[in-house]
Amino acid sequence: MSDDDLRQMIGRVQRGTLSRRGFVRRMAAVGLTAPMATQLLAIAGVASPASAQSVPNYGPARRGGGGALKILYWQAATLLNPHFGSGTTNADASRVFYEPLAGWASDGTLHPILAAEIPSVENRGLAEDGRSVTWKLRRDAKWHDGQQFSADDVVFNWEFAKNPAVAAVTSGSYRDVNVVKVDDFTVRVEFNQPTPFWADAFVAAIGQIIPKHLFKDYAGANARDAPNNLRPVGTSAYKFVSFAPGDNLRAELNPNYYLDNRPYFDTLEIKGGGDAVSAARAVLQTADFDYAWNMQVEDAILKRLEEAGRGKVNIVDGGAIEFVQLNTTDPNREVDGERSSIKTEHPAFRDPAVREAMALLIDRNALEQHIYGRGGPATANFLNNPPRFVSPNMRWEFNIQKANEILDRAGWARGRDNIRAKGDVRLKFVFQTSVNAPRQRTQAVYKQAAQRAGIDLELKSVNGSVFFSSDVGNPDTYVKLYADMQMYTTTMPQADPERFMNQYVSWECSAKANNWQGRNIVRYRNDEYDTLYRQAQGELDPIKRAAMFIRMNDLVVSSNHIIPLVKRPTVSASLNNLHHVLSAWDGTTWLLRDWWRQT
């Protein structure tokens, strides 16, 4: 189906000659999923009946009476200010109390929370030139201390987060936009250039709004000393009771919440610490807790625990991916005091034949079946979600014989030690990753196959807290990439690939000059990719823009400098009778107000 056909069909829906359902069905026939089809309609300006579709129905007919909800995290929250808390655990814990204007539902659509409606072109929320978005706020939202929530609070959060003295971890989403108060319950976010991805500031984890009246005296270098960093006063369905950093968080029902019949539970407890396996036990086997977060546990164990019949494992597909990088630069030559400098070229990986062979030598099926289970479906793409951005063009294959043929043809001959070489370059690579059981097993699987193709992999594993640190003095960090190849998981925190795909633009190359803080760690450089990325940043036509990201994915994957292995969906455990609302694009607690228990 071409662009034009699609546009015509959307036009028919707009005119009413084709039903929404008919449209979705036709899209499904050509291989587009329902969420993608509805998304296309929404972006094209066709009103959707209600975004409630993307969130399951809420059962209870009255507020409260649900008893206690007990959630277990094997990491513990340490801070309850969304602008400071690093990591998912802290963002989720502060989300219990603070709300953003909107959150991301699992199908990649926006769900209004403090916003009265989701801005769109037809409700005049989105400017046609893509330079601004106007949010209408709820008029009935109140802070837990009784104060009225208003546009002043929203504007204050922007000023707070973008202030360099505050050093907020959310600053990246706020410093390049301008926020204007239109009236007491309307704010406008203005962008410097046309911005197709407008739902960043004030949305999801980054968008949690803190109250102006409690933080206005702490909007500078003293921000981290604000007493309310540990005693949050928010707008959500649950009020703060007590917090022991690194251990336990308690909340109770907010009797004045602005939505009817919500919340269901009278009290809420989030216990932190311990390990993932026993957390799974506490839910699936003994039912001491209702929900356990992030089950990084072998799938075989989870399956066995599920047999107790009390709980189930929830798998939510997101954009996180475990992948291998083949260095484009030479890690063994030092230029101007830095190794893996972009002034060099990798002696072996500069030959596309070697890279192609490397991509053929990893058995993703084995990884999925024997190592990751339901927590790691094999994939050929780097960009795997939301569905509208997924490339249909990439295939993966595990074929040692083919790899051998390719290398033979390219002139890499086996030496006496069975390792291939050409000139003075031998196919002997250092393969590094972090210490983590599934990764070490993957390394071993890779090494075995590579050996049969005459390639020797020297396996290296670095402690996670070193590998992922930003310590400039340490040679073993993943950003330095002082190895021939490496493997890790990269996450996709938003339902839009713009931030995610900047990992391969040339100006993001990690180098000494930027203290190795560039996001392009493999140092991939391709003019076509750069041009596409710049175009996509300003492209307002959603269909064209999606096509650009698909092309970018194809470019980087078919270069084989990036070898996608398995997708990493989020895995959690919950009791059978608990109705939760999870999302791959937002925190676990993003819609806690809609959680309830079937009795």
Partner 1 sequence: MTQYLIRRLLIAIPSLLGISVILFTVLALAPGDPFEELATNPAIPPDVRAHLRASLGMDDPVHIRYFAWLSSMLRGEWGYSFVSRIPVDQLILQRLPTTVAVIGTSQILALCIALPVGVYAATRPYSVFDQVANTLAFVGFSLPTFFTGLLLILLFSIHLGWLPFVFRSDIEATGWRWWWEMFKQSIMPIMVLGLFQGAAWTRYVRSAVLDVIRLDHVTTARSKGLPERRITIRHVVRNAMIPVVTLVALQMPAVFGGAIVTEQIFRVPGIGSLLISAILANDTPVIMGVTFVFACLVIFFNLVADILYGWLDPRISYR
Q: CA–CA distance from 131 to each of 125, 147, 180, 198, 464 (Å)? A: 11, 32, 13, 9, 41
**Backbone phi and psi for residue 426, each to the nearest 5 degrees, phi listed first:** -110, 150
Contact present, 44 and 394 (Cβ < 8 Å): no
What part of residues 462-521 is at the interface with partner 1 (CB under 8 A)?
A: 465-466, 468-471, 473-474, 476, 479, 488-494, 499-500, 502-503, 514-515, 517-519
We find the least distance from the C-beta atom of residue 9 to partner 1, in angstroms, to be 34
We find the least distance from the C-beta atom of residue 231 to partner 1, in angstroms, to be 12
Whichever of 436 and 489 has its CB closer to partner 1, that residue is 489
x/- letters, 243..282, toward partner 1 (CB under 8 A):
-xxxxx-x------------------x-x-xxx--x--xx
x/- letters, 430..469, toward partner 1 (CB under 8 A):
-----------------------------------xx-xx
- Residue 522 found at the interface with partner 1 (CB under 8 A): no
Q: What stretch of H or E contains 180?
A: strand 177-183
Give the residue from 22, 43, 18 showing the smallest Cα distance to 8: 18
Q: CA–CA distance from 98 to each of 62, 80, 242 (Å)? A: 23, 9, 15
* The 267-272 sheet, strands edge to edge: 238-244, 248-253, 267-272, 68-73, 291-292, 570-575, 311-316
* DSSP 8-state class, residue 97: T
- Residue 22 found at the interface with partner 1 (CB under 8 A): no
The CA distance from 481 to 590, in Å, is 35
Selected binder of partner 1 within 134, 171, 261, 314 (CB under 8 A): 171
x/- letters, 288..307, toward partner 1 (CB under 8 A):
xx------------------
3-state secondary structure (DSSP) of residue 423: coil
We find the least distance from the C-beta atom of residue 523 to partner 1, in angstroms, to be 16
Whichever of 88 and 254 has its CB closer to partner 1, that residue is 88
Q: Output the six-digit token pair for 93.
A: 């814990």
- Residue 20 found at the interface with partner 1 (CB under 8 A): no
Instruction: Quote the strand ranges of 320-362, DSSP E.
Output: 321-326
Selected binder of partner 1 within 6, 46, 58, 84 (CB under 8 A): 84
Whichever of 246 and 411 has its CB closer to partner 1, that residue is 246
Selected binder of partner 1 within 230, 301, 366, 394 (CB under 8 A): 230
Whichever of 147 and 248 has its CB closer to partner 1, that residue is 248
What part of residues 318-377 is at the interface with partner 1 (CB under 8 A)?
A: none
The CA distance from 396 to 401, in Å, is 15
Q: How many CB atoms lie within 10 A of CB 423?
A: 8
Whichever of 169 and 430 has its CB closer to partner 1, that residue is 169
Q: How many CB atoms lie within 10 A of CB 451?
A: 15
Whichever of 148 and 469 has its CB closer to partner 1, that residue is 469
We find the least distance from the C-beta atom of residue 232 to partner 1, in angstroms, to be 13
Q: Which range in 20-28, 152-160, 161-169, 397-405 contacts partner 1 by CB under 8 A?
A: 161-169
Whichever of 65 and 246 has its CB closer to partner 1, that residue is 246
Whichever of 88 and 195 has its CB closer to partner 1, that residue is 88
We find the least distance from the C-beta atom of residue 25 to partner 1, in angstroms, to be 36
We find the least distance from the C-beta atom of residue 417 to partner 1, in angstroms, to be 34
Q: Which range in 18-26, 28-36, 54-62, 170-178 contacts partner 1 by CB under 8 A?
A: 170-178
We find the least distance from the C-beta atom of residue 246 to partner 1, in angstroms, to be 6
**Backbone phi and psi for residue 366, each to the nearest 5 degrees, phi listed first:** -65, -40
Contact present, 340 and 325 (Cβ < 8 Å): no
- Residue 173 found at the interface with partner 1 (CB under 8 A): yes
The CA distance from 435 to 330, in Å, is 24
The CA distance from 315 to 155, in Å, is 36
Return left, alpha or beta for 331; rule: phi > 0 is left, psi -120 to 50 is alpha, else beta: alpha
Task: Convert 201-260 into a string of H (helix), E (strand) and C (coil).
Answer: CCEHHHHCCCCHHHHHHHCCCCHHHCHHHCCCCCCCCEEEEEEECCCEEEEEECCCCCCC
- Residue 86 found at the interface with partner 1 (CB under 8 A): yes
We find the least distance from the C-beta atom of residue 271 to partner 1, in angstroms, to be 6
Q: How many residues of this chain bind partner 1 (CB under 8 A)?
A: 66
The CA distance from 127 to 347, in Å, is 50
Return left, alpha or beta for 580; rule: phi > 0 is left, psi -120 to 50 is alpha, else beta: beta
Contact positions toward partner 1, by CB under 8 A? 72, 76, 78-79, 84, 86-88, 164, 167-169, 171-173, 206, 221, 224-225, 229-230, 242, 244-248, 250, 269, 271, 273-275, 278, 281-282, 285-286, 288-289, 465-466, 468-471, 473-474, 476, 479, 488-494, 499-500, 502-503, 514-515, 517-519
